[in-house]
C-alpha cells in the first residue's frame, strides 16, 4: 500500500534522508516555510498526481492559499484530497533512486538514473532497468557502488543509498523511491517520497501502524482491514451494486462482469466465510457500509461453498439482515456448493423476497435487470 508523500517524508526524516522544509495543510494555510517559491501537492495515496493536476508551483503566499483551497475537498484519481503538502522548492539537477522488492528473483532491484525521473518510465518500460541483488545491506551497497562509480557525487549517493536500504529492510517496505532526487555539494534532498508498505508486516512495525491509524480518512481501506480483519474496498461511492462475496479473485471477476453488463459496483469484498465462526457480525458490518450509500440499488450475495456450510451461512445472512433494518434494496443470492438445498429452503422461509439461485450467470443477469430497470 502506497503512503502519502507527507508520511513517506516523515519516515525519510527519521532515517536521516534530507527532505525540504514543509507544512501539511488541511484547512487554513499557516505561515509558510522559507521564502518560496513553493510546491503545493495533493496528499493522495496514488501515483500520477502531477498529470492529474495535483501538483502546482506557486510564487506567492496568496497563490499557495489559492492552490491549496482549490485542491482541498476535491477528488484526485479516485481519492478525496484531505490534505496538501506545501514545501520549499528545491533547485538543481533531478536524479532518480529506488530500491524495491523483486518477486521473481527473491531479491531487490536497485535503480539509479543520473538523468532523473523524466527518463524513468522510459527506462523501466522494458522491465530490465537497474540491477538485482540479494536483499541485504552489503549487497545493495555493492550494487549501488557499481552504478555510481563514476559519479562526482558518489559519496553523497552512497550515504543516501545506505539509509534508503536501511529504511526498506528494517521497515519491511516493498518499494522506496525518490523521484526527483536533488544532489548538490551540500548533500541530497528528496523532492518526493514514494513508499509502498507491506500491510501484512504491520503487527511488527509499530511506527508504520501509527502512521496508518493517524489518518483513518486517507487510509480508509487499510484501517478497515486492520480493525475488521477482512477486505472491504469502496470502488465508487455512487455505485449501485453492493457485493457480499468471498474470495479476492472471484470478487474481482464479478466486478468486471457486472461492469461489462453496464452495472456500477459499489465495493469489493472478501468476507472470508471460513472465519465467520457462527457470528453475523462481519456480514452486518459490510451491509451497514453498503446501506450508508444512497445510490445502492441491489445487493449481490455470491458464495461458492467448498468447505463453508451454506445452511449455516444463510442463517447468518438472514440474521444479519434482521439486524440491518435500514438495508432496503433487493437481494440476489447465488449460493452454490455444500448445503445448497438446505440454504435455499432456509431463505425461502425467512427471506421470501430474496432471489436465490445456484447459477452465477442467472444472478448476474438478475442484478443487471434490477439496476438497469431503475436507471
54 lies in the site for other proteins, by CB under 8 A: no
Closest to other proteins by CB, 249 vs 352, is: 249
Tell the smallest beta-carbon distance from residue 121 to other proteins (Å): 6
SS (H, E, C) 262-300: CCCECEEEECCHHHCCCCCHHHHHHHHHHHCCCCCCEEE
Residue 190 DSSP SS3: strand
Closest to other proteins by CB, 58 vs 117, is: 117
Q: Which of 54, 107, 161, 191 binds other proteins (CB under 8 A)?
A: 107
342 lies in the site for other proteins, by CB under 8 A: no
Q: Which three cell numbers stand for residue 62?
A: 496568496
80 lies in the site for other proteins, by CB under 8 A: no
Tell the smallest beta-carbon distance from residue 259 to other proteins (Å): 5
Q: Which three cell numbers stand for residue 46?
A: 496514488
Q: Which three cell numbers stand for residue 89?
A: 522548492
Q: Which three cell numbers stand for residue 353?
A: 423476497
Q: How many residues bind other proteins (CB under 8 A)?
A: 65
Q: How far apart are CA 224 and CA 81, in angstroms?
A: 19
Tell the smallest beta-carbon distance from residue 347 to other proteins (Å): 20
Measuring CA to CA, which residue among 169, 159, 143 is closest to residue 18? 159
Binding window for other proteins (CB under 8 A); candidates: 150-158, 195-203, 286-294, 349-357: 195-203
- On the question of a cis peptide bond just before residue 37, with omega within 30 degrees of 0, the verdict is yes
Q: Which of 177, 192, 240, 312 binds other proteins (CB under 8 A)?
A: 177
357 lies in the site for other proteins, by CB under 8 A: no
68 lies in the site for other proteins, by CB under 8 A: no
Q: 374, exposed or middle or buried, with CB in 10 Å at 0-12, 13-18, 19+?
A: exposed
Closest to other proteins by CB, 226 vs 329, is: 226
Tell the smallest beta-carbon distance from residue 280 to other proteins (Å): 20
Instruction: Locate all alpha helices (DSSP H) within the chain, ordered by sequence.
Output: 5-14, 61-71, 120-125, 137-147, 154-170, 206-214, 220-228, 248-260, 281-291, 310-322, 340-350, 360-374
Instruction: Give me the count of residues in the chain.
Output: 375
Closest to other proteins by CB, 88 vs 308, is: 308
Residues 267-286, interacting with other proteins (CB under 8 A):
268
Q: 137, exposed or middle or buried, with CB in 10 Å at 0-12, 13-18, 19+?
A: middle
Residue 307's Cα: distance from chain center in Å? 30
Residues 116-175, interacting with other proteins (CB under 8 A):
120-121, 124-127, 129, 134-135, 169, 172, 174-175
Closest to other proteins by CB, 89 vs 124, is: 124
Phi, psi of 235 (to 5 degrees): -90, -40
Q: State the residues that interact with other proteins by CB under 8 A.
A: 1-2, 45-47, 77-79, 98, 100-101, 103-104, 106-107, 109, 111, 120-121, 124-127, 129, 134-135, 169, 172, 174-175, 177, 194, 196, 198, 200-201, 203-204, 221, 233, 235, 246-253, 255-257, 259-260, 265, 268, 304-307, 336-338, 360-361
Amino acid at each position: 500500500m502506497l503512503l502519502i508523500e507527507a508520511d513517506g517524508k516523515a519516515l525519510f526524516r527519521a532515517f536521516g534522508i534530507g527532505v525540504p522544509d514543509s507544512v501539511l495543510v488541511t484547512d487554513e494555510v499557516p505561515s509558510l516555510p522559507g521564502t518560496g517559491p513553493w510546491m503545493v501537492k495533493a496528499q493522495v495515496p496514488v501515483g500520477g498526481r502531477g498529470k492529474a493536476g495535483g501538483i502546482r508551483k506557486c510564487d506567492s503566499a496568496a497563490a499557495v492559499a489559492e492552490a491549496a483551497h482549490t485542491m482541498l475537498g476535491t477528488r484526485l484519481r479516485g481519492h478525496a484530497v484531505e490534505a496538501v503538502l506545501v514545501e520549499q522548492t528545491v533547485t538543481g539537477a533531478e536524479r532518480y533512486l529506488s530500491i524495491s522488492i523483486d518477486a521473481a528473483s527473491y531479491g531487490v532491484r536497485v535503480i539509479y538514473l543520473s538523468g532523473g525521473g523524466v527518463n524513468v518510465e522510459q527506462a523501466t518500460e522494458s522491465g530490465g532497468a537497474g540491477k538485482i541483488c540479494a536483499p541485504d545491506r552489503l549487497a545493495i551497497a555493492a550494487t549501488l557502488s557499481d552504478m555510481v562509480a563514476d559519479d562526482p557525487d558518489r559519496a553523497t549517493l552512497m550515504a543516501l543509498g545506505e539509509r534508503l536500504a536501511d529504511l526498506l529492510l528494517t521497515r519491511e517496505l516493498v518499494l522506496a523511491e525518490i523521484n526527483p532526487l536533488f544532489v548538490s555539494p551540500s548533500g541530497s534532498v528528496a523532492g518526493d517520497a514514494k513508499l509502498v508498505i507491506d500491510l501484512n508486516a504491520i503487527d511488527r512495525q509499530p511506527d508504520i501502524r501509527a502512521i496508518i491509524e493517524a489518518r483513518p480518512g486517507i487510509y480508509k481501506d487499510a484501517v478497515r482491514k486492520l480493525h475488521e480483519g477482512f477486505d472491504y474496498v469502496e470502488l465508487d461511492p455512487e455505485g449501485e451494486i453492493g457485493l457480499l462475496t468471498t474470495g479476492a479473485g472471484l470478487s474481482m471477476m464479478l466486478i468486471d462482469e457486472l461492469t461489462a453488463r453496464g452495472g456500477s459496483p459499489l465495493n469489493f469484498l472478501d468476507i472470508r466465510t471460513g472465519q465467520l465462526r457462527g457470528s453475523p457480525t462481519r456480514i452486518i458490518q459490510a451491509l451497514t457500509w453498503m446501506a450508508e450509500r444512497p445510490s445502492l440499488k441491489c445487493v449481490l450475495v455470491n458464495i461458492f461453498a467448498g468447505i463453508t456450510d451454506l445452511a449455516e451461512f444463510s442463517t447468518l445472512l438472514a440474521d444479519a439482515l434482521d439486524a440491518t433494518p435500514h438495508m432496503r434494496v433487493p437481494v440476489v443470492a447465488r449460493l452454490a456448493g455444500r448445503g445448497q438445498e438446505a440454504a435455499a429452503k432456509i431463505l425461502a422461509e425467512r427471506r421470501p423476497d430474496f432471489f436465490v439461485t445456484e447459477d452465477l450467470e442467472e444472478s448476474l443477469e438478475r442484478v443487471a435487470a434490477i439496476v438497469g430497470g431503475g436507471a
